[in-house]
Amino acid sequence: MHINRIAGIVLAGGTGTRLAPTTRVVNKHLLPIYDRPAISFSLDVMRDCGAETVVIVGNAADVTTYSSIHDWLGYQDLPIRTVVQERPDGVAGAIACGHRQFRGTDFNRFIVMLGDTLYIGPTDWTREVVDRVRGHGASVAVTEHPNPRDFGVVDCAADRSVLQVREKVPADGPRLVCTGLYGFDDTLGDRLQAITPSRRGELEVTSLLNSYVTDSTLTAVTIPQCVEWFDIGTPDRLLDASMTYRTKVHRRSGTSFETIGAH
């Protein structure tokens, strides 16, 4: 078995209802973060993590756009395919949709990222997310958040082994939360098949993560302090991400995205 075969899955479906009416005609993962589309941030991470190929899981309406991504966005060095998530059955359902594209291959590590997650700042640290699962286990990128109610809360031991992941629970004060970047080993497919729908009828990523917790093989990777994380699900967060990118990266480097994305 090849121990270094890494595949990437970017989750770029959904309806983006909180960003309507714009998202009625433009998928939120294609909205601009200053001078570049949001999905480019995920593709940067895929490249930094050493993914040999990437599957973008999206909606049927966006297949043409994502399928031609090399033509209009760049990343010619990164093989990219597109698959449609036929029904909105949760984050774990979207991961399963992407993972099925690798059946019969010898990829044994998977880097998964939500397409509306942005890390503004250096991204070389993301390689640790996939390195932590060399051989076995899974990892999740976390950061402390002052209002963790909207996110998956991660309870960790002192050595950063994860004790529990809980979805959108009441919490007083800052807590570690999932930021939308995960690394998984080659047991991912079997674990996805074992998940049952939650009370809201979805296949939850927390169920997937907690299957690794049960085996004591889930670890947390903390985002460096020099990196800012954004979930661009609302207009305010989209604007804040654009302003942060413009101020901290674009203006300081003086480098256009046309140059960055053409690598």
200-247, pLDDT tens digit by residue? 888 999 999 999 999 999 999 999 999 999 999 889 999 999 999 999
Residues near 237 by beta carbon (within 8 Å), at least 6 away in sequence: 230, 231
| Number of independent structural domains in the chain | 1
Its sign, for the CA torsion 199, 205, 208, 213, is: negative
Contact between 15 and 61 (Cβ < 8 Å): no
Residue 111 buriedness (CB in 10 A; 0-12 / 13-18 / 19+): buried
pLDDT, position 259:
44
Is 195 within the bounds of a domain? Answer: yes
- Domain holding 52, by residue range, is 6-261
Identify the three-state secondary structure at position 29: helix
Is 174 within the bounds of a domain? Answer: yes
pLDDT, position 1:
46
In this predicted structure, the answer to whether residue 54 has a pLDDT above a threshold of 80 is: yes
Is 1 within the bounds of a domain? Answer: no
Q: Is the pTM of this model over 0.85?
A: yes
Quickly tell me which residue has 């899955």 as its tokens. Answer: 9
Identify the three-state secondary structure at position 123: coil
Average pLDDT over residues 139-144: 96
CATH number for the domain spanning 231: value is 3.90.550.10
Percent of the chain with pLDDT over 90: 72
Is 223 within the bounds of a domain? Answer: yes
Q: Alpha-carbon distance 218 to 212, whole Å? A: 5
* DSSP run (H or E) holding 120: strand 117-120
What tens digit of pLDDT does each residue of 101-128 get? 999 899 999 999 999 999 999 999 999 9
